């Protein structure tokens, strides 16, 4: 009796790019100043919520043998979603506690600048391998790296300054990156379902 093969896992990355794409629209709204700084706890909650499925999808991709997208998903889930989400949540909690004690001290968010620059470097290093998979996604990663670099510049003094020049440029980079990923996710799913190149993606 022939041994039955276990079902093959489907590609999990399209789910991640949809998560990232929509979350980046919200991040853009915060950075550009379309919403007030009081939205930080909500954005933090969204980032943490996105981190859970992103890490799971990253594990699925690694299980499928895809080291590139598996690693990228883990970076998004661990560093960006969980990392920045918990940083903003912790900073909000700390500031509330200090305000309750009447202390004129808040969380030093300048450390976010160094995280942002480090993550930007990672996505620059991803460009070579990603270009073999998709030139379109490679361009999206360049946009993201610019956005993260600008975010670091905007956070360097510890004051987010939502709506200032660095943050505005960063926000629009996140918006463009998010829209590009939503399109890429749609291409992955549509072309797979129809088993034909219905939508273009170089």
Low-confidence ranges of the chain (pLDDT < 70): 1-7, 95-107, 158, 196-200
pTM: 0.85
Instruction: Determine contact, residues 116/149, Cβ cutoff 8 Å.
Output: yes
Query: Residue 121 has what pLDDT?
Result: 95
What pLDDT does residue 1 have? 45
Tell me the angle at which helices 135-155 and 111-125 cross, rounded to the nearest 10 degrees: 160
Provide the 8-state DSSP code for 104.
Answer: S
């Amino acid at each position: 009796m022939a041994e039955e093969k276990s079902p093959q896992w489907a590609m999990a990355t399209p789910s991640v790019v949809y998560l990232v794409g929509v979350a980046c629209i919200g991040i853009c709204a915060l950075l550009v100043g379309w919403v007030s700084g009081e939205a930080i706890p909500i954005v933090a909650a969204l980032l943490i919520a996105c981190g859970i499925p992103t890490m799971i999808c990253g594990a699925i991709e690694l299980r499928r043998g895809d080291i590139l997208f598996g690693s990228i998903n883990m970076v998004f889930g661990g560093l960006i979603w969980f990392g920045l989400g918990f940083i903003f949540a912790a900073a909000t909690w700390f500031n509330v506690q200090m305000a309750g004690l009447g202390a004129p001290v808040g969380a030093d968010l300048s450390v976010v600048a160094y995280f942002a620059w480090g993550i930007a470097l990672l996505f620059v290093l991803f460009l070579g391998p990603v270009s073999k998979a998709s030139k379109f996604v490679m361009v999206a990663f360049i946009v993201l790296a610019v956005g993260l670099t600008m975010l670091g510049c905007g956070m360097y003094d510890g004051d987010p300054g939502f709506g200032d020049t660095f943050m505005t440029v960063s926000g629009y980079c996140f918006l463009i990156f998010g829209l590009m990923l939503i399109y890429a996710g749609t291409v992955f799913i549509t072309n797979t379902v129809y088993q034909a190149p219905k939508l273009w993606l170089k």
